[in-house]
Every structure is written in structure tokens, then in C-alpha cells.
Amino acid sequence: MNAAILQDRIHQLSDWIITSVFPSSHWWMHFVVHVVLVAMPVAFLALLLVWAVGLARRRLAGRPAAPSADLRSPLPANLFGYILKHTRRQQLILLMGALASLPLLYAVLELPKQIINRALSTEAEAVSVLGVAMASYELLFALCALYLAAVLASGGVKYGINLVKGHLAEGMTRRMRFAVFQAWSRGAKPCAPAQIIPVLVQEVDPIAGFAGEAFLTPAFEGGTFLTILVFMVLQNPVLGAAAMTLVPIQIALIPRLQRRVSALARQRSREMRAFGVAVADADPRSQDPHPVLAVSRSLRRAQTIRLEIYRRKFFIKSLNNFITHLTPFFFYSIGGYLVIEERLSLGALVAVLAAHKDMSAPLRELLGYYQTMDDVRVRYDDIRRFLAGQNEPAAADTAGAVGEDSLPHNLRRGAA
């Protein structure tokens, strides 16, 4: 079977799928639905295949164990185990709150559709609700009251979740800072205060803050994403598929771009640690200009790295906004056609559009979560190595980790 015959068979199969699920003779709808029902699933399968091949390669290569597992550090090797050991009760409360928020979210999505379809679009003077006859305006007021109650309840649950999460993060910050300070003060070869202060002030904060997100974010944001997707699928399966059309692009591109931002953030942390060492070595009474020049070079490198972080973060934000505003194109095309054909109510289309507006946020949070998790693991391992005496900042950070040779080509400026 040559390539032309195979391509023709694939095209016939895709046409059969489209006409079976979404019968339409218009070429525009034929093109749009092909993108939604054929191109999107193929892209998802390609992503899964790439992920599976990468996982198999790592397994066959015999990925070594974590190099910091045997370090003599006061912090255990397993970050998630360390978090769960000290915050088990708060994590359970957070997970219960996340589960309680999902029915409320579905009610907030469903009630506007009921308001449009049952209270505003009906021509009958009375509507039967659970065996009770209600006038249109009475039903409108009742549904609006239920919507307000659902919004208030959902906001209250999220407020409670944020309070518990903030309390958990602050408790972990205090615990980790004291553990790091105690390990440093009892060390056989304690480093200078200029080296431990950035660790206590800057590098502990992201790890302790992640403690509140470690188990909550996958449950809360993942549950929110699935709840919105289920709501869309129940309105119309093709609209649910349209909501996922550009998700493969986000999964393929955003993590790769964000990974470089995380690497630059870690590089900046090491640079600030080196800056503390340079400031400690600078004596204002000395006539030697070299310490002052070292401080100036360190500040220039930190500024350059930070500007590169801004540039990449703003590009990611612009790309996310473009993808978010492009997806409604499929909703307007497919949903509008279904409304004209009277196969979908106007209230359902409006509700799907409103739901999609809330759908991009949990997906963005999930993508950011996995990048943050990778960054926090590296930070946590760096601190463990630092406390175990295997990562001397004076040698590693000033000479290699933040030296000019370690910077990317477009960051090697400002040192002269």
C-alpha cells in the first residue's frame, strides 16, 4: 500500500468520523470540525507517544538514584515526605475543601444556563419546577438567589482554603528556617553569615510556600479543570472537544519555555548568594578596588539575569493569552452553527463560553505547578548539599555557578 492510498484511507476514515458525529455539508464546518475531532486527538496521541518513549529511554538507561539521598543533612531526601510529615492534618483539610468546592463550581456554571433557558427564553406564563407552578419572574428570582448562594459558598470555601494554605506555608517557613539555622550553627565548618542569610531569607521561602501547594494544587486545579470539561461535554460533546483543541500546544510549548525561566531563577539565587560574599569581602577602608569591582559585576549579572527572566515570562504570558482568546473561535463556529440548526440552546452556548473563560486558569496553574515542583526540588537539594558541606558557595557560586562562563551567550555582558 503506497502513501497515496494510505492518505486516502485516512481521509475517508476522518470524513466518516466527522459525518457520524457532526453531520454538516458546509466546507467551513467541515474544516473546523476536522481540526477539533481529528487534529486534536492526533496531537494528544503524539504527545503521549513522545512522553512514553522518553520514559522508556530513561528506564533503559538506568537512571541513577538521587545523588543527595545519602547526604548527612538535617533535611530528609524526600521533599514530599518531609512536607507530609509536618502538615498531614492541614493537607487533609485542604483536600476536603478542594472536593467540597467542585459541586459548587458546577452549580455556578449550570445556573446561568437555567436562567436563560427556563426563565428568560420561555413564553409560558407559568413554569413547573419540582411540581410547583412558578411565574417566570418568580423562577428568575429563585434561580438568581441560588446563583448568589452558590457564588458566596464557593467564595467562602476558597477563602478558607487560602487561610489554611497560608497558615501551613508560614508554619513550614518558620520550621525550615530554624532547622537550617540550627544545622548551620552546629556545623563543623560553619560558613560566613553572608552566605547563610540569603539561604534563610530567599531560598527557603519558595520551598515552604510550595508546601501549601504540594497536594492541594493537583486536587483543586485538576478537579476544577475536569469539572468544567465535564460541564462542556454534557452541553455538547463536540464543544467539549473544541475546548481541548489547543491544549496540546500549551502542554508542548509552555513547560519548555517555563523550564528556562526556572533555570534563570535558580541562577539568580546563586548570584545573590555570591553577591553577599562579595559585600562581606568589601572593606570600605581598604584602597584595593577589586572587592568593589566584584560587587559591581555581581550586581550587573543579577540585573541581566532578571531582565532575561522578565523577557521570557512576558512572552509566555502573551502566548497563553493568545491561546486563551483563540479557543472561543471554535466555540463561536461550532456552537453558533448548532444554535442556528436548533441543536443547541443559546443558554448552553453562553454557559460554555463563560465556562471556558474559567478553564484556562486551572490549566495554567497545573502547568505552572509542575514547573514549580521541579524548581523547588532543585532548591531543596541545593540547601541539603549546602548544609552537608558539599556545595561551598564561596568556591562553587563565585567561581563556576555564577561566573561569566556559566552564563548564556546573550547574558555575558555587563561584566566589563
Q: Let me know the angle formed at the C-alpha of 267 by 264 and 270, rounded to the nearest 5 degrees.
A: 155
The helix or strand, by DSSP H or E, that contains position 133, with its residue range, turns out to be: strand 132-135
Does 200 map to a domain?
yes
Phi/psi for 132 (5° steps) reads: -110, 125
Q: Residue 244 corresponds to which amino acid?
A: M
Domain membership of residue 29 (yes or no) is no
- Judge whether 292 lies within some domain: yes
Query: Coil, helix or strand for 128?
Result: strand
Q: Which residue has the higher pLDDT, 404 or 185?
A: 185
Q: What is the DSSP letter of 411?
A: G
Average pLDDT for 129-158: 85
pTM, 2 dp: 0.69
Q: Which residues contact 145 (CB under 8 A, 6 or more apart)?
A: none
Contact of 352 with 235, CB cutoff 8 Å: yes
Q: What is the pLDDT of residues 60-99, one digit of tens each?
A: 775 544 444 555 666 788 888 888 888 899 999 999 999 9
Given a cut of 80, is residue 6 above it in pLDDT? no
The tally of domains found in the chain comes to 1
Report yes or no on 385 lying in a domain.
yes
Q: Per-residue pLDDT averaged across 279-298, rounded?
A: 72
Please report whether residue 24 resides in a domain.
no
Residue 331 located in a structural domain = yes
The answer to whether residue 292 scores a pLDDT higher than 70 is: yes
Q: Write down the mean pLDDT value for the chain.
A: 76
Residue 414 grid cell = 555587563
The answer to whether 228 touches 355, Cβ cutoff 8 Å, is: yes
pLDDT of residue 168: 92
pLDDT tens, 145-201?
999 999 999 999 999 999 999 999 898 888 888 888 887 777 655 566 666 777 777
Domain encompassing residue 169? 87-411
What number of CA atoms fall less than 13 Å from residue 211's CA on the CB side?
A: 30
Residues 204 and 278 sit within 8 Å (Cβ to Cβ) = no
Give the Cα separation of 34 and 17 in Å (integer): 9
Question: Reduced to 3 states, what is the DSSP secondary structure of residue 191?
Answer: coil
Q: How confident is the model at residue 399 (pLDDT cuts 50, 70, 90)?
A: very low
Assign residue 185 the CATH number of its domain: 1.20.1560.10
Q: Is position 17 within any domain?
A: no
Q: What are phi and psi of 353, to 5 degrees?
A: -65, -40
In angstroms, the CA 182 to CA 274 distance is 22
Instruction: Tell me if 246 is assigned to some domain.
Output: yes
Closest CA relative to residue 303, chosen from 271, 273, 328, 346: 271
